[in-house]
Amino acid sequence: MMKIQLFIVSSLLTLCTFGQSKNPDSLSFNKELKFKYEALIIPSVLIGYGVIGLESHTLKDINSDTKNEINEHIDKKFTIDDFSQYSAFLSVYALNSAGVKGKNNFKDRTIILASAYLIMGTTVNVIKMTGNEMRPDGTSNNSFPSGHTATAFMGAEFLYQEYKDVSVWYGISGYLVAAGTGFFRMYNDRHWFSDVAAGAGIGILSTKIAYWLHPVISKKIFKKKENLNGMVLPVYNGREYGLAMAVSF
């Protein structure tokens, strides 16, 4: 199974290399967000740690030790992670609604967010379906990687990219909430530390890829849709959490 996970991760990283092409029709025409290999270091390390943790006895011991340490201090479960995973990228829309303008308009940031969500969601779900990692609470064998954490860090990177030129503290706050989401996934006995690490890396990398792909997607698919407005809101039907988007053309 580890070979499958490595293949999926390497395919995700391969997407990033397109930004270095010298073809004028490639991603290299995006002069504002040029591809930088150093941007891959942190997400690659996080994903690598998680993948290696599937087989490494040393990292498995760290998983168990972390679980035991957290369980010693648990009084009851908190499901705040079901909500906090969405808070960072929803903050982008809230800040724009409040008049704090970010890097992109509604159309462009929504295209970027949708692309990041698609990349992240597809990657996480394919790995979960091809893996066989039991959750700490023993309820299912799709523990690796953490989808909640991936969503949270995808949103944190999105918030950082949109508002880093306004104030770096927006991005820092987003990453703090994302880290908290990962912690509560372990606190609630739903994920191992290596699951959370891999999820964080996938989330960050998915957003970076979405920004690098945005010029192509915008040019090829949405070039005629200049007037695009709407809103994104969290929804809950009594059993499941999700997102609803209302868009006007």
Per-domain boundaries in the chain:
2-248
- DSSP at 18: G
The closest of 42, 49, 44 to 66, measured between CA atoms, is 49
Give one DSSP letter per residue of 94-127, joined into a string.
HHHHTT---SS-HHHHHHHHHHHHHHHHHHHHHH
**Residue 8 pLDDT > 90:** no
Ranking 145-159, 176-190, 211-225 by mean pLDDT, the lowest is 211-225
10 Å CB burial of residue 50 (0-12, 13-18, 19+) is buried
User: Pairing state of beta strands 229-236 and 241-248?
Assistant: antiparallel
pLDDT grade, residue 220 (50/70/90)? confident
Calpha distance 35→29 (Å, rounded): 11
3-class DSSP assignment, residue 79:
coil
More confident residue, 162 or 26: 162
3-class DSSP assignment, residue 63:
helix
Q: What's the pLDDT at 100?
A: 95
Question: Of how many residues is the chain composed?
Answer: 249
Q: What's the pLDDT at 39?
A: 80
**pLDDT for 15-66, tens place per residue?**
555 444 444 444 444 444 455 778 888 998 999 899 899 889 999 999 999 9
The closest of 205, 210, 191, 233 to 67, measured between CA atoms, is 191
- DSSP at 14: H
Helix H or strand E segment including 245? strand 241-248
pLDDT grade, residue 249 (50/70/90)? very low
Is pTM beyond 0.85? Reply is no
How many CB atoms within 10 Å of residue 73? 7
The two tokens of residue 199 are 């999820």
Q: What's the pLDDT at 233?
A: 53
